[in-house]
C-alpha cells in the first residue's frame, strides 16, 4: 500500500483553481521530485499532504490515515510527516537545541533528556554539533536549513517533505544541504521534494512529477523523464530544454 495517496485533488483560492484533478502515489523508500515552472502549484500540492493547505475535493491518505476523516488526529499525523521549508522557519527565539527538542517534548511527550539525546544525534548527523547553543540568527542559511532538517528528523517521521529547500540559499551553501538530503535518500527515507535542483533529481530521485498550471503533466521514473526514449508532453520537453545542462 502506498505511503501517500492523493486522489483527484482540486483546490481553489477563491475563483482561481490552483490544483486540478491531481493524483499521485508515493511508496515507502521512494524519492519523488516535483518540478515545474513557478505558479504550477508544486508547493501547494506538497502542503496538502500534511494538511497545511486544505482541499475542496479529493482524497488524501497518509500511512493509511485519511485526512478527510474528521476523526483523524491531525497534529499526530503531522508529527509523522516531516517538512522542511524554503525559508527554514527555525524558531528564532529558541536556541538550536531547543528548536530540536521543543516538538519532541510537546507533541511526542518525550522526556527532556531523551529529546536532547535525539536532538544531538541528528545534529551530529547534519554536522552541526558545535552550534547547539547558538540561536538561528547567528547561523548561515545553509546551517539553518540543516538544523531544520535535523528538527524534522528528530520526530522520527515516516516521510519527509521538502518545499524548495535550497531556493533561498547562496549557491555555495546549496551543496551542503543537498549532501544531507542525498545521504537521507541513501538511508532509505521516503522523500517528496519540490526543487529546481535537477542534479539532485538525477542522483537520487526515483520518480519525477512535472507540474504545470495546477496539473500533473508527467509522472514517470527519473530515467524516463531525463532520457530520450520515453514520450513526454511538449510542455515537459520545453521545460527540460530550458534547464541549464548539468
Partner 1 sequence: MNLDLSFYNWELFHNFILKGLIFSVQLTFFATLGGIFFGTVLALLRLSKSPLLSVPASWYVNLMRSIPLVMVILWFFLLMPSIIGRSIGAELSAYITFIAFEAAFFCEIIRAGINSVSQGQNNAAFALGMTYRQNMSLIILPQAFRNMIPVLMTQTIILFQDTSLVYAIGAYDLLKGFEVSGKNYGRPIESYLLAAIVYFLICFTLSTVVKKIQARVAIIR
Q: Which is nearer to partner 1, 79 or 206 (CB)?
A: 79
Q: Which is nearer to partner 1, 93 or 186 (CB)?
A: 93
Closest approach of Cβ 202 to partner 1, in Å? Answer: 28
Separation of alpha carbons 228 and 223, rounded Å: 9
- Cell digits for 109? 511527550
Closest approach of Cβ 75 to partner 1, in Å? Answer: 5
* Residue 63 per-residue DSSP state: T
Q: Which is nearer to partner 1, 104 or 222 (CB)?
A: 104
Q: Which is nearer to partner 1, 137 or 245 (CB)?
A: 137
Q: Which is nearer to partner 1, 138 or 183 (CB)?
A: 138
Q: Which residues pair with 162 in a beta bridge?
A: 84, 193
Using left for φ > 0, alpha for ψ between -120 and 50, and beta otherwise, residue 51 falls in left
Separation of alpha carbons 134 and 217, rounded Å: 44
Closest approach of Cβ 204 to partner 1, in Å? Answer: 23
- Cell digits for 44? 501547494
Q: Which positions lie near partner 1, rule CB under 8 A?
A: 47, 50, 52, 75-83, 85, 87, 89-93, 102-103, 106-108, 135, 137-138, 151-152, 155
Contacts (Cβ under 8 Å, ≥6 apart) of 166 = 145, 173, 174, 177, 178, 195, 196, 197
Q: Which is nearer to partner 1, 150 or 208 (CB)?
A: 150
- Cell digits for 243? 534547464
Q: What is the CA radius of gyration of the chain?
A: 18
Closest approach of Cβ 137 to partner 1, in Å? Answer: 4
Instruction: Tell me if 59 sits within 8 A of 69, measured CB to CB.
Output: no
Closest approach of Cβ 224 to partner 1, in Å? Answer: 31
What does DSSP say about strands 57-62 and 31-35: parallel, antiparallel, or unpaired? unpaired
Query: What are the backbone dihedrals phi and psi of residue 58, each rounded to the nearest 5 degrees, phi first?
Result: 120, 175
Closest approach of Cβ 27 to partner 1, in Å? Answer: 22
Amino acid at each position: 500500500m502506498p505511503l501517500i495517496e492523493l486522489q483527484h485533488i482540486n483546490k481553489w483560492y477563491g475563483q482561481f483553481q490552483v490544483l486540478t484533478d491531481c493524483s499521485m502515489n508515493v511508496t515507502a523508500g521512494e524519492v519523488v521530485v516535483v518540478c515545474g515552472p513557478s505558479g504550477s502549484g508544486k508547493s501547494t500540492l506538497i502542503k496538502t499532504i500534511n494538511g497545511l493547505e486544505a482541499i475542496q475535493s479529493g482524497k488524501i491518505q497518509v500511512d493509511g490515515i485519511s485526512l478527510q476523516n474528521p476523526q483523524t488526529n491531525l497534529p499526530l499525523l503531522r508529527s509523522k510527516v516531516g517538512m522542511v521549508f524554503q525559508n527554514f522557519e527555525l524558531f528564532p527565539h529558541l536556541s538550536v537545541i531547543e528548536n530540536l527538542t521543543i516538538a519532541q517534548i510537546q507533541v511526542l511527550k518525550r522526556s527532556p533528556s531523551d529529546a536532547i539525546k535525539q536532538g544531538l544525534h541528528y545534529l551530529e548527523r547534519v554536522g552541526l554539533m558545535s552550534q547547539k547553543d547558538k540561536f538561528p540568527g547567528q547561523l548561515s542559511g545553509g546551517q539553518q536549513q540543516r538544523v531544520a532538517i535535523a528538527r524534522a528528523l528528530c520526530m522520527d517521521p515516516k516521510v519527509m517533505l521538502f518545499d524548495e529547500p535550497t531556493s533561498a540559499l547562496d549557491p555555495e551553501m546549496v551543496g551542503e544541504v543537498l549532501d544531507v538530503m542525498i545521504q537521507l535518500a541513501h538511508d532509505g527515507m521516503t522523500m517528496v521534494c519540490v526543487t529546481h535542483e535537477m542534479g539532485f533529481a538525477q542522483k537520487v530521485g526515483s520518480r519525477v512529477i512535472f507540474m504545470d498550471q495546477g496539473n500533473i503533466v508527467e509522472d514517470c521514473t527519473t530515467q524516463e523523464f531525463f532520457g530520450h526514449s520515453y514520450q513526454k508532453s511538449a510542455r515537459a520537453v520545453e521545460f527540460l530544454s530550458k534547464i541549464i545542462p548539468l
